[in-house]
Amino acid sequence: MFSVNRLFQFWGLFQLAAFAVASDGFVKVDFDVYQGLNLSAALSGYSHISRRDGDGSFDVSLVNEKQFYVSKLQIGTPESEVSVLLDTGSSDLWVMSTKNPQCKDNGGSIDCEQYGTYNETASSTFHDNKTDFSIQYVDQTYAKGTWGTDTISLTEGLKLENASFAVADDSDSNVGVFGIGFKGLESNPEQYSNLPITMKEQGFIKKLAYSLYLTSAESESGSILFGAIDHAKYEGELATIDISKLNGDYAYLQIPLTSVSVEVNSNADNQPSDSSVPSTGSSVRSFNNSSPQSISANNSQALLDSGTTLTYLQDSLIQQVLEQADKNASYSPLAGAYTVSCSLRLPGNSMTFRFNDEKDIKVPLSDLVLQTGQDPNTGKAICIFGALPSNDIILGDNFLRSSYSVFNLDDKTISIAQLKQTNDEDIEVIN
C-alpha cells in the first residue's frame, strides 16, 4: 500500500475470530473473511468483484480474499481493539482515534466502531510525541493526527512496550494500516523503530525477518511468521535474492524480474463443471500454447506487496503475454484492464515469473484471470486479466498465493520458492 502510487478501488477485510495462546515459541491467530467494494460493504455482507517464540518466532495467521490482510491489535491501558491492514508495502502503523469527526459517533458518515477506535486520552500508558502525522493516498483518502507510544499486543503472547505508532484524529479512510516494510518508507521525517523492529529490540524475534504464506483463493487461511521460516510450506529450494536499492537506499521489497512466460492448454471440450469457469453462456475459446516462449522483462524491479490485490506490469509486457495467451483480448478503458476469455481460468493454464535469472514461480491463470460479471446482452461471463497496465511492476496477492516468500530486512534479501499448500509445519528460527 503506497501513499504515492496506489489507487484503492475495492477492499477486503479479514477480521480476527479468536486468539490462540502462545505455544512452542510462536503464536497463531485465526481470522474470518469478509469482502466488498469497501470495508463497510464488506461487513454488511455485500460481495462483488470489480476492478480495483520461545524459539524467537511468532506465527500470525491471516485469511485470503484476493484483496487485503487484516490483523487485530490490542492497544493501551485499558486495551482497545482495532483492525489494521497488514501491508508489506509501507512501514507505519496508524490507527483510528475516537476523536475523528468523520466517524458516525461524532456526526460523520464512517462507522468507525466496526473496525475499532483508540482513545489515547483514556490510556494511562499513552505518550504523545508532539509530532504531527499526515498521509494521503492517490484516491485522495487521508489520515492526519499525532505520533505517540503505547503498549501494543499483536497476540496474547506478544506484548510490546512503548511501541511507536500514529493516532489519526481526522481521516476519511475506514481502517488503519499496519506497515511492516523498510524504515525508508516511514512517513515520519525522523526514522523510528516500527513494530517489526520493536519486536526484535524487545527480544521476541532474533532477526528482522518474516515469512509470508498465502494459500489458494478458495482457502480461508494463511500465515505470516515473524522471525522464522516454515520449510513445510514450499517445494524445492528457496532462492535467496538481494533486494534492489532505490536511489542508493533500501526502501521497497523489490527484486529483479527477468522474464515471464505463459502456458495455455485449454479448449471448450475440457471445460470444468465447477464455478471457476461459468458453464452457462460463458465466453470460451480454444487455445494451445504448450511450448511457451520467454518474454523478457529486462530484469526490471518487481515489488512484492501484500497490500496490493492484483498484479501490475508494463503494458508492453502484458500485450506480449496476451498475444500468446489470447489473441482476441482487448483493453477496456472502463475497467482499466484487458478483457480475456474466461476459459483461460481452466486447470493447467499458468504464467511463470522468472526472477534474477535463477528462480521460477508458476502462477495458475485461475488466479490471474478474474470473472467480473456477465454481459447483460448475451449473458456470457466477462473476465479480465488480473495483471493491470502500469509503469511499475507490483506483484500483489494473486502472485503471492503461489510464492512462499521470506523477507529478511536485516540481510536485505528476499527468498522465494514455489508455495506448497499444507497444514504441516517445519519451523526454523532465522538467526
As annotated, the active-site residues are 87, 305
Q: What angle do CA 183, 188, 193 make, to 5 degrees?
A: 45
Phi and psi at 195, nearest 5°, equal -60, -45
Q: CA-CA-CA-CA torsion for 242, 244, 248, 249, nearest 10 degrees?
A: -80
Alpha helix positions (H), 203-269 = none
Closest CA to 75 of 124, 111, 40: 124
Q: 149, 164 in Cβ contact below 8 A? A: yes
Helix (H/G/I), strand (E/B), else coil: 378: coil
Q: In the chain, helix, strand, coil percent, each to 5? A: 10, 45, 45
Q: Residue holding cell 466496526?
A: 114
Q: Are strands 58-62 and 127-136 parallel, antiparallel or unpaired?
A: unpaired
Helix (H/G/I), strand (E/B), else coil: 323: helix
Closest CA to 403 of 389, 414, 388: 414
How many DSSP H helices and E strands does the chain contain? 5, 29
Strands laid side by side in the 330-332 sheet: 330-332, 337-340, 381-385, 369-374
Q: Residue holding cell 453462456?
A: 281
